[in-house]
Amino acid sequence: MEDDLMPGDDIHIELVQQGPRRRQRPPVDTLQGHPYLEFPDGTDAARHCQKLRRMHVGSHASIDWDAMEEIAETPRVRRFIPIDSPWHRLFDLAHTPTYRELLVEFISSFTFHPPGEPVPIPYPGAPHPPEVSFRLAGVQRSMTLAEFAVRCGLYMQEEIETEIYTVGLVVVEKPTLVGFWQVIAGENHWEHEKSKGRVSFVRDPLYRRPCALAHGLAQYFASGHHRQERGFLYGGAYVTVIARSFGLVPHQDPHLRTPAIMPTRMGMQSLWGMRVIKRFPVGPRFKNPNGGVWTEQPLPEHFEDVYPPADPADVVPVEDPPEDLDGPAVPQPPPPAGAPQFPRHVIRGHAPGAALHPDVRAELDRLNDLVGWLVRAEQDRREREGLPPIPLPPVRAPHQQHQQQHQPQQQQLQDSDSDLDA
């Protein structure tokens, strides 16, 4: 694909600022009330749209093949990104403008039911939901995953029946993926002196395996509404390609209010900024963690699968219990009858609840004095103004039972005090 962004020489697009690269606060919601973003109240699409239209939209970066030629990486890269292949189209179509309104509408309404997976049916006899469905420019559309793969430009129609597409639909199990990443990934990370980002060292992902690119892209669109509101939305380049496949011309659509977000190419300036290349006597080349020229290392054709442990005991060694040097525990006598069967650790005293902490008791006494003072002040005011006294509130049932239970004890205490006075 050529460097021009749109087919034809008579089409002109005004270059505008690129999307934000750093995480920022969510932008001001300028898409409220847009005709493409009106969904029925209470639907999932309406809830998704309310969040997505306040998110940033990132600009895509495609491969600069001139830069790959300058650092002598074109032959190696072409081994796993052959010309006119799905991987080549994936990176090449990234150099396509993004339109914010179309992207938000597309992701808000996008649903994906992978072929072969069970789908819940709302009621017996209900039609099976489509594999892929979305709304674009106000028109609801549904299709198979194979048609979606062609519409987004990753596959040609004649490739759908070949192993390029069919073999890639096989889902790779997690043990295989974990084993693959342990082979190609280095154990250490390093940070460059002036680089703000951490770079992970990857040896070489040159396993020529079929990959379900359309399946992965559909999964990304289906999960777009789960991203944080301060994050970025991507995939707009492929939404534009899908819109063009239906005959839409986004840059001529009068309903699109915001300017197009233009893509970039990851050229030499980006590589120098990432500090992943260095100038050597042979020219600029990728550098390894030690600062030397990065060289390709052959990978084994087969690697062992890594299965997660079924039980934590398989990972954490079980130590023998410590030896009891004091001998067996001496049996304790049973507690006396009526004693509390729980430790006295909450409230101090001879028994739980027998005594309060001195600070708590002092605070309760102070509050009791203040309440009494307020009652007497209110009674004096009403007597001065000739108002009738306020009736006392009814006694609560638990409080009344408590008074009835303790009234004989209080009477005995009063009688004993009278005998002492006598």
Across 118-132, 302-316, 371-385, least confident range: 302-316
Does this model's pTM top 0.75? no
Read off the pLDDT of each residue in 381-390 and give the average, rounded to a whole number.
82
- Rank 170-184, 208-222, 253-267, 379-393 by mean pLDDT and report only the highest: 253-267
Average pLDDT of the residues in 134-156: 94
> What's the mean per-residue pLDDT of the chain?
75
Highest mean pLDDT among 27-31, 36-40, 182-186: 36-40
**For position 405, what pLDDT does the model report?**
60
pLDDT at 229: 79
Q: Which of 2-11, 47-56, 182-191, 235-244 has the lowest mean pLDDT?
A: 2-11
Does residue 409 surpass a pLDDT of 80?
no
Mean pLDDT calculated for residue range 283-299: 85
Confidence label for 205 from pLDDT (cuts 50, 70 and 90) = very low
| Residue from 419, 165, 183 nearest 300 by CA | 183
If one compares 347 and 407, the residue with the highest pLDDT of the two is: 407
Lowest mean pLDDT among 7-11, 131-135, 387-391: 7-11
List, for residues 34-43, the tens digit of each pLDDT value: 899 999 999 9
Across 251-269, average pLDDT:
90
Candidate from 167-171, 326-330, 387-391 with smallest mean pLDDT: 167-171
pLDDT in the model for residue 76:
87
> Confidence class of residue 12 from pLDDT cuts 50, 70 and 90?
very low
Is 70 exceeded by the pLDDT of residue 44?
yes
Yes or no: say if 1 and 208 are a contact pair by the CB < 8 Å rule. no
Q: How far is Cα 188 from Cα 199, in angstroms, rounded to an integer?
A: 10
Q: Is the model's pLDDT at 416 over the cut of 70? A: no
- Give the per-residue pLDDT at 419: 55
* pLDDT for 177: 57
> Which stretch of 169-173, 228-232, 264-268, 388-392 has the lowest confidence by average pLDDT?
169-173
Q: How confident is the model over 95-136, as pLDDT tens digits?
A: 999 999 999 999 999 999 988 778 777 778 888 889 999 999
The 10s digit of each residue's pLDDT in 350-360 is 444 445 567 77
